[in-house]
Amino acid sequence: MPEPKALSAPQKALLKLGLGRDIDLALHLPLRYEDETRIVKLRDAREGDIAQIEATVTACEIVYRPRRQLMVTVDDGSDTCVLRFFSFYPSQQKALAVGSRLRLRGELKGGFLGWQMVHPTYKAAGGELPAALTPVYSTVATLPQVYLRKAVLGALARADLSDTFPPGVGETLRARVWGLREALAFLHQPAPDVPLAALEDRSHPAWQRLKAEELLAQQLSQLESKRERAALRSPALAASPRGLHERLLAALPFQLTLSQRRVGEEIARDLARTVPMHRLLQGDVGSGKTVVAALAAAIAIDAGWQCALMAPTEILAEQHFRKLIGWLEPLLSPLGLRVAWLTGSQKKKERVEMLSLVASGEAALVVGTHAVIQDQVQFRRLGLVIIDEQHRFGVAQRLALRSKANSAPGAENVPAPTPALPRAGEGDSLFEPHLLMMSATPIPRTLAMSYYADLDVSTIDELPPGRTPVVTKLIADSRRDEVTQRIRAQVAAGRQVYWVCPLIEESEALDLTNATATHEALSAALPGVMVGLLHSRMPPAEKRAVMALFTSGQMGVLVSTTVIEVGVDVANASLMVIEHAERFGLSQLHQLRGRVGRGAAASACVLLYSAGDAGRLGETARARLKAMAETADGFEIARRDLDIRGPGEFLGARQSGAPLLRFADLATDTPLLEWARNLAPLMLDRYPELARRHTTRWLGGKSQYLKA
């Protein structure tokens, strides 16, 4: 075996960028191109052109107005151009001395004094011109463009780029389908006569081929995981007549909406099957998902199985499930069944106690954060897992959950969907639990078809009757005093108010200072009103105490950071103030706004925006906030959010670094997405070997992430 050689800096950088395999390099497409194939005359150039010229230096001097700079004048025989360098070395001054002939490249700007270039690149004139457009790749400082270009070309020659599309697929794609090799060669080294515009807008057939490839890989991998799951067995949980489910329905203080009944039936149908459910229940904030979850839990428990409920944070778990527990507990205790809590902050003794309740099966309902799915937790008969606010769990957590459901021990981050292994000596644990996820952020259709393609979706599309619409107002931060007046009036009328401060990502400390300052200012401005503060760093017991004061109505105003994500259900709250609203995502704003308007009182949401240094809010920021004021429909808002922020943030993948679609754009490539979606099942059935080669080529070891 040869000595392992130390890697050079560029080699390390390649690995770090995920460009280890030849195929990865071949698929690392240029960000843009530079045309160095020809020399233009200044006379023929247009404003804003990135131009390459050859010219002679006629003047070179250091000037001090408006600031110190090297000013060089060149003449190419057709016109003159001024070059400006704001930082320069003596050696550069020498290279740019009067009389030098240079090949220059830069952006041409035409001031009234004539052509100018700021910091153009330059070298001696003459020399050969390249035959193809020059690709510019995304890279890092330790990996120079020139090195990367060579590496890509080498890899392109070596990589196996044989076609993996099944024969005949071209016909369904309408346009002539380019081969993969042909497409890649073209994109890495486009001929000089190709208009740059055709390359940059990704409509070119070469791009189409790559997008089709990528989308097909995603669909294949999702379909594979769906089929793997379908091969697993789950307990058939059927609702029995006069069972818990019926009793819970009878005990509810309200009638289910039509939507709730419909999704409830969809879920019940899934639960009754021996194939694991993998369903997302989506419904706008306040649409009443909790009761649907409670009914599902009742079915599972009635059938003799345990149900686990999870929310992303302790406080959310407590808030979201308090109602549910309140409904179920009175029905469980006569049966000798209990509710167990599992959270990260629990004392050891309490935790041990809870774990034994879970292991014995006495706890029919297990509630908590993702502590619920940690390895030490042994269920006796876990039949159903319900995750609330699933979009707030990171991709990695979702994967861990899936692996828990599959119960492969220690498989934290590598959840190969294996058949379940036996646990705790129980035959029943050979079963895979059913999985129900809930989200108030509706998944736009294109995402549902792509990233979430292996999921069944149920949608609640109406709100319970009797809600008053929330009026949304945009108010500049400079008018804070008026907002305080408004708060005073609301509290005087016996209502309650939320004030949410933004999360400042870079600094939790700053975040806190901000919330603390607001809390102090409001306390001072509202004598006689109890103003509470809730932030991420408070111990859970303290958080609970503050929440209790607010829910009981004693506290008039609650200031909080979003880390808490006010998930409370206080019907008496009628005003929601969101500070620095411009820093929130639309879906986040929508969820926060959904915390008011839960009772009969007329409610409002004030979006306070900070105009910023320039004295005005940026164009997009304004558009986003206006969208909030204009629509109350969570689906519409989610769609706009996707348009504005792209799927990365939508999926919460930013933190996890999960690879997303690189080439395809869900907004414009829906036809290709549909094509891939139709082809995937056919390909898995008829050409399994091609399918396998295709996913390996595209996803390598990362395929798990694309289906998380």
- Residues in contact with ligand ADP by CB under 6 A are 254-257, 260, 283, 285-291, 323, 440, 464, 569, 598
- Helix/strand/coil for 363: strand
Whole-number minimum distance, CB 623 to ligand ADP, in Å?
27
Beta carbon nearer to Mg ion, 320 or 707: 320
Closest residue to Mg ion: CB criterion: 320
Cβ atoms of residues 300 and 383 within 8 Å:
yes
Beta carbon nearer to ligand ADP, 290 or 472: 290
Q: Footprint of Mg ion on residues 443-502 (CB under 5 A)?
A: none
- Residue 592 partner contact from Mg ion, ligand ADP, none using kind-dependent CB cut-offs of 5 to 8 Å: none
Whole-number minimum distance, CB 290 to Mg ion, in Å?
5
Beta carbon nearer to Mg ion, 285 or 586: 285
Count Cα atoms within 13 angstroms, Cβ side, for 383.
Answer: 27
Whole-number minimum distance, CB 634 to Mg ion, in Å?
13
Cβ atoms of residues 577 and 496 within 8 Å:
no
Question: What radius of gyration do the chain's Cα atoms show?
Answer: 31
Whole-number minimum distance, CB 436 to Mg ion, in Å?
13
Whole-number minimum distance, CB 150 to ligand ADP, in Å?
55
- Helix/strand/coil for 85: strand
Whole-number minimum distance, CB 281 to ligand ADP, in Å?
9
Whole-number minimum distance, CB 568 to ligand ADP, in Å?
10
DSSP string, 688-701: HHHHHHHHHHHHGG
- Residue 599 partner contact from ligand ADP, Mg ion, none using kind-dependent CB cut-offs of 5 to 8 Å: none
- Helix/strand/coil for 614: coil
Q: Output DSSP code: residue 666.
A: T
Beta carbon nearer to ligand ADP, 243 or 464: 464
The residue to which tokens 């939508």 are assigned? 650
Neighbouring residues of 38: CB distance < 8 A, sequence distance ≥ 6:
52, 129, 192
Nearest to 650 by CA among 585, 704, 561: 585
- Residue 485 partner contact from ligand ADP, Mg ion, none using kind-dependent CB cut-offs of 5 to 8 Å: none
- Residue 464 partner contact from Mg ion, ligand ADP, none using kind-dependent CB cut-offs of 5 to 8 Å: ligand ADP
Applying CB under 5 A, the site for Mg ion has a residue count of 1
Cβ atoms of residues 104 and 42 within 8 Å:
no
- Residue 441 partner contact from Mg ion, ligand ADP, none using kind-dependent CB cut-offs of 5 to 8 Å: none
Nearest to 343 by CA among 538, 534, 540: 540
- Residue 442 partner contact from Mg ion, ligand ADP, none using kind-dependent CB cut-offs of 5 to 8 Å: none
- Helix/strand/coil for 126: coil
CA distance linking residue 274 with residue 242, whole number of Å: 23
Helix 480-492 / helix 508-525 crossing angle, nearest 10 deg: 60
Whole-number minimum distance, CB 320 to Mg ion, in Å?
5
- Helix/strand/coil for 59: strand
Whole-number minimum distance, CB 533 to Mg ion, in Å?
24
CA distance linking residue 215 with residue 220, whole number of Å: 9
The one-letter amino acid code at 476 reads: A
Beta carbon nearer to Mg ion, 175 or 571: 571
- Residue 707 partner contact from ligand ADP, Mg ion, none using kind-dependent CB cut-offs of 5 to 8 Å: none
The one-letter amino acid code at 628 reads: M
Q: Output DSSP code: residue 447.
A: H
Beta carbon nearer to Mg ion, 532 or 594: 594
Whole-number minimum distance, CB 288 to Mg ion, in Å?
9
Q: Cis ω on the peptide bond leading into residue 66 (within 30° of 0)?
A: yes
Nearest to 144 by CA among 33, 7, 6, 9: 9
Nearest to 580 by CA among 485, 658, 505: 505
Beta carbon nearer to ligand ADP, 135 or 286: 286
**Residue 675, both tokens:** 């094509």
Whole-number minimum distance, CB 592 to ligand ADP, in Å?
12
Nearest to 323 by CA among 367, 364, 363: 367
- Residue 500 partner contact from Mg ion, ligand ADP, none using kind-dependent CB cut-offs of 5 to 8 Å: none
Beta carbon nearer to Mg ion, 441 or 695: 441
Beta carbon nearer to ligand ADP, 216 or 570: 570
The one-letter amino acid code at 461 reads: D
- Residue 287 partner contact from ligand ADP, Mg ion, none using kind-dependent CB cut-offs of 5 to 8 Å: ligand ADP
CA distance linking residue 340 with residue 416, whole number of Å: 29
Nearest to 621 by CA among 609, 633, 632: 609
Beta carbon nearer to ligand ADP, 70 or 294: 294
**Phi, psi (5° rounding) for residue 149?**
-60, -45
Nearest to 552 by CA among 576, 579, 530, 577: 530
Whole-number minimum distance, CB 322 to ligand ADP, in Å?
10
- Residue 260 partner contact from ligand ADP, Mg ion, none using kind-dependent CB cut-offs of 5 to 8 Å: ligand ADP
Q: Footprint of Mg ion on residues 317-376 (CB under 5 A)?
A: 320
Beta carbon nearer to ligand ADP, 184 or 285: 285
| CA 53, chain centre distance (Å) | 44
Whole-number minimum distance, CB 366 to ligand ADP, in Å?
19
Closest residue to ligand ADP: CB criterion: 288
Beta carbon nearer to Mg ion, 320 or 398: 320
Whole-number minimum distance, CB 236 to Mg ion, in Å?
28
Which long-range contacts link 68-76 to residues 24+ away (Cβ below 8 Å)? Answer: 70/96, 72/96, 74/102, 74/104, 76/41, 76/42
Whole-number minimum distance, CB 323 to ligand ADP, in Å?
6
- Helix/strand/coil for 439: strand
Beta carbon nearer to ligand ADP, 259 or 343: 259
- Helix/strand/coil for 123: strand
CA distance linking residue 423 with residue 421, whole number of Å: 6
Beta carbon nearer to ligand ADP, 568 or 706: 568
The one-letter amino acid code at 582 reads: E
CA distance linking residue 589 with residue 644, whole number of Å: 14
Beta carbon nearer to ligand ADP, 89 or 254: 254
Beta bridge mates, 59: 73
x/- mask, Mg ion, residues 307-326, rule CB under 5 A, reads -------------x------
- What residue ranges bind Mg ion (CB under 5 A)? 320
